[in-house]
Structure 1
Amino acid sequence: MLGAVSACANPADILFLNGKIVTLDATSDVAEALAIEAGRVSATGSSEELRKSAGPATRIIDLGGRTVIPGLIDSHIHAIRAGFRHATEVSWEGARSVGEALGRLKSAADGAGPDAWLIVAGGWTPRQFDENRRPTEAEIASVSSGHPVYIQLFYGYVLINPEGRDRLNIKSETDLPAGAKFERNRENETTGWITGGGPAITSLYGRLPKPSAQEAVEGTRAFLRELSSFGLTGVIDPGGHNLAPDDYAALFQLWRAHELPLRVVYSIFAPRPGKELEDFQAFTQFLPMGTGDGWLRFNGIGECITWGMYNNDTPGDADKEAFYRVARWAADQGLTLTVHWNNDRSVHHLLDVFERVNREVPIAPLRWSIAHLHDASDASLQRMKALGVGWLMQDGLYFAATSYIAERGEAQMQRSPPIVSALRLGLPLGGGTDANRVMIENPFVSLRWMLDGLTVDGVETREKSEIPSREQALRIYTEGSAWFAHDENQRGRLMPGMFADLAVLSDDYFTVPISDIAKIKSLLTMVDGRIVYGAGPFSALESGRR
């Protein structure tokens, strides 16, 4: 049905005509046309009616029947770290074979300086390859041309070739971080791969050289543009390992130069174990909640609040007390807080602390959230709902479902994550990817996975009762994510008064086969009424600086 026209008081700056405008308003109206004035939606309705709002300077864009959606918002993506490193890393995203992955490494080696590292920091899985295996050290040697190489698989495996080990002064296993060891084959020979837990892998990555200031700026610019090509108009960044305070400089430089192509809302991460409260207090002394503008804004603390409650299923009383002190301080300061938590079996420890803080300072207005928690039980979701705590859900199981099933069983997998159960409760729910170490950044891959539960290698997982509708999934990725940025009244829907943040799609999200949703790209991405990305018939429309 066509949305009712909201009259424009002034001539529109931009008119989109002859399209399918998915407004995501309260009645799910679909309009033919949309008018924009001063960076905001001023009207939706029929093309015939909205043509009347055109003035001499109005830019008219004929959509040719294409679908327009509110701009997508990734509610949990390590975009700042990914951008900072982007210019010095090699991506294996979408590679279908070991040979294709090696080809990308060879291309990087051929174009790199003589001493340059070749780094694949994540965002891949052996299950995406036809061979369903990791590359070998010999295969890496055949294409790396003597460059030092570092290849990370999730937070469990790293391949560092001999040149790389020499650079990092790794002569024997005693030179590895605690918890790491050389992988050995059946003949007890080292394979080149190093195994270990998250802290060990993070420590190894931290030994790599950082990009130059210019590489950091260019990498950030390129990575954010890539996100624009997927119709992303906003990201919420939780901080993360291997991201020091001075690593934010490239992002801030682009912001000051008015060159950001999307809205960035960011948290800061606890960098030093045992010094979390001290560091947070120091970092935020002149950084109150909400500092920034509509393009770059501070959004509190995350995703490691205290190290004793990070990836720890059995925190002790001292760990929980330390977490309480930071959480209580954050509540007193009015800070949003987001926490990384993987397992429902232990999340009661976290919720107990949240409830303790809430008895003293109501936390619902602060938009606190838990990220991941793929196996959330109904009881945990209900406790979160009672506290006003939201849930940040990502598609990590698109890569990792096989190991997840092996650990937790088929029955648990069938409701992981329990998307529909959370929606039924009215729990705030945001969509995302957790890119780029554990997943790829493409939101349409995430949306497709939300709608069919199929992994990268076609394994069926989630049962139908936990599969949302296409509209529900899209709302999770738009207005749902906007809630966590305190922006649900400004973005996530295409209604008069809302920001003109939108994407014109290459295919209709609502009618293409679900399997083809992952192939959708944006042909035109707009933020704040500015065309930040154009492709195909709209490539000439892309704006410069805002």
Structure 2
Amino acid sequence: MPTSVADLVVRAAAVHTMAGAAPATALAVRDGRVLRAGTDADVRELIGPGTKVLNLGDRAVLPGINDAHLHGAWLGALWPATLFADDGTPGAGPEKPLRTAAERRAAILRAGEILAALGITSYTEPGLGPGEDDGRIGAFGMSVVEQYRELAAEGLLRARVTALWLYGELDGPSTFDTFRTGLTTVDGSSPDPRRLNFRGVKIFADGIPPMRSAYTHHCYADGSHAHLLVGGADDPEREENFTRMVLAAHEAGLQVGVHATGDRAIELMLDAVERAREERDVDLGHYVIHGDLVNAAQLKRMARLGVGLSAQAGIAVRTAGVVDTALGLGSSETAWPLQEALDAGVPLCLTSDAPVLPPDWRKEIAAADQWMGPAEDVRQRMETLLRCYTVHPAQQDGAASWKGTLAPGMAADLCVLSADPYAVTPAELPEVEVDLTVLDGQIVFERSGLFA
């Protein structure tokens, strides 16, 4: 008899572990971790009287999906509304302010339901903290942090949450003094670091190209120029204050996620990271958020410095026209170079930025495939894009040693699809249903009582 008996065994047409091995057809789970992946014969000895066995038939199993840039509380408050229209027109979006602790708690729980139904078992809240305590929406301040802490302590979070601290305003300005104060005074403790982890800080370097607020070396079509969102009397002082923020966070051992869409903002961020690594050579997983106008030389630097990219293909598809209007005809053709980022070795995370866009990762994969153009090997393209929602986000979370694949010992976070994603094209993926979601070996979503 084996020394360990499984709590859960799943049998399926394909179990894609994303761990470099050929697809398995069975997976055994114990105590929230993968015990073994292989054939039915490989796991049969792990089945005991108390083992729950799910025969999934023609379905496929993936590691749980990880959306590495998603505003959970805001999503729960707004859904099914989103901020971007399909024509690419950005707007303020509908306002549903979260005024009370009960409303914030309900919004987070609602987000958990929405995401579980999509097979999403991890997400990053990219900006929570004192900078938004007086925000008009109420979805990003310290009161939201406290609700996340309470839900984690009660075991009620239906996804793993990584959070970035925000010491300025969401989509708005910050100063070095408030940033430095935040680094020294904000409590990053968590009742369960595997369910709620305060990993780093977010800095808004600039805005977005359609609003002519991306910090770029190029002149906008109307002759205007943008400035950094960091406080300062002029561009050199703002750039110096931004650099000081990155250096301070790096010295404190915190990951930095920089909202940077303009090439000038991205260059400044990379200069700061390079300087930080010279002073303290440790890879903290810093990354560029959005990176709309990143160029080839910067991608090479990002790969060398270990700087990742968190991008939204759905925004590229929707806003190409308005980017051309803002920066000049043809500008969008070199924006969002997703394939070039992958070719350069940059860890690329595809994300939804929900509720800017819907949190449906299947649609984002389809959008990425559309933006990247035809693939010679469709199966390899699917593999690559799935890694952008599993393996790479786990790396961004600093959690690649325990989640993101289904190798033995890894977290038993599963997304079960109605068909094998490798048997369809990325454009067809949105039609494939999510039938089951498992977090830590426990079922958190089941479609239509399929496995009752």
TM-score w.r.t. length of structure 1: 0.70
Superposed, which structure 2 residues align to 1:141-540 within 5 Å? 154-155=90-91, 209-239=97-127, 242=135, 243-271=140-168, 273=173, 275-282=175-182, 284-285=184-185, 287=187, 292-304=192-204, 311-313=214-216, 314-315=227-228, 316-363=235-282, 365-395=283-313, 396-408=315-327, 411-436=330-355, 438-453=356-371, 462=373, 469-538=381-450, 540=452
- The structural deviation recorded for 1:452 is 2.2
- The structural deviation recorded for 1:158 is 6.4
Aligned equivalent of 1:127, options 64, 87, 90:
87
Counterpart residue identity of residue 493, structure 1: T
1:262–1:8 CA distance, 2 compared to 1 (3 A): farther
Query: Within 1, Cα distance between the matches of 2:175 and 2:332?
Result: 37
Counterpart residue identity of residue 253, structure 1: E
Query: Within 2, Cα distance between the matches of 1:489 and 1:158?
Result: 38
- The structural deviation recorded for 1:539 is 5.8
Superposed, which structure 2 residues align to 1:94-113 within 5 Å? none
Q: Is the 8 A contact 2:203 2:257 kept in 1?
A: yes
Where structure 1 has 5 or more consecutive residues not aligned to the other structure, the ranges are 1-6, 93-121, 129-152, 160-204, 454-460, 541-546
CA offsets per residue over residues 177-233 of structure 1, 9 Å max, x none? xxxxxxxxxxxxxxxxxxxxxxxxxxxx6xx75333222222211111111111111
Q: Is the 8 A contact 1:11 1:53 kept in 2?
A: yes
Corresponding residue for residue 30 of structure 1:
23
Q: State percent identity of aligned pairs.
A: 25
Query: Within 2, Cα distance between the matches of 1:514 and 1:385?
Result: 26
- The structural deviation recorded for 1:283 is 5.7
Q: Is the 8 A contact 2:2 2:45 kept in 1?
A: no
- Between stretches 353-362 and 475-484, larger displacement belongs to 353-362
Tell me the SS of whatever aligns to 1:337. Answer: strand
Query: Within 1, Cα distance between the matches of 2:24 and 2:271?
Result: 46
Query: Within 1, Cα distance between the matches of 2:401 and 2:375?
Result: 31
Q: How many residues align?
A: 417
1:324–1:290 CA distance, 2 compared to 1 (3 A): farther
Corresponding residue for residue 20 of structure 1:
14
- The structural deviation recorded for 1:464 is 5.4
CA offsets per residue over residues 270-303 of structure 1, 9 Å max, x none? 2365544435534654635888511001011004
Q: Is the 8 A contact 1:419 1:466 kept in 2?
A: no
- The structural deviation recorded for 1:235 is 0.4
CA offsets per residue over residues 483-524 of structure 1, 9 Å max, x none? 110011211111111110111112321113433212333211
Query: Within 1, Cα distance between the matches of 2:247 and 2:191?
Result: 21
1:252–1:347 CA distance, 2 compared to 1 (3 A): same
Corresponding residue for residue 91 of structure 1:
80
Tell me the SS of whatever aligns to 1:385. Answer: helix
Where structure 2 has 5 or more consecutive residues not aligned to the other structure, the ranges are 208-212, 217-226, 229-234
Query: Within 1, Cα distance between the matches of 2:370 and 2:206?
Result: 36
- The structural deviation recorded for 1:32 is 0.8
Counterpart residue identity of residue 21, structure 1: V
Query: Within 2, Cα distance between the matches of 1:306 and 1:377?
Result: 17
Q: Is the 8 A contact 1:420 1:466 kept in 2?
A: no
Query: Within 2, Cα distance between the matches of 1:332 and 1:39?
Result: 34
Query: Within 2, Cα distance between the matches of 1:24 and 1:539?
Result: 25
Q: Is the 8 A contact 1:270 1:304 kept in 2?
A: no
Query: Within 1, Cα distance between the matches of 2:256 and 2:377?
Result: 27
Query: Within 2, Cα distance between the matches of 1:33 and 1:533?
Result: 20
Tell me the SS of whatever aligns to 1:266. Answer: strand
Q: Is the 8 A contact 1:73 1:431 kept in 2?
A: no
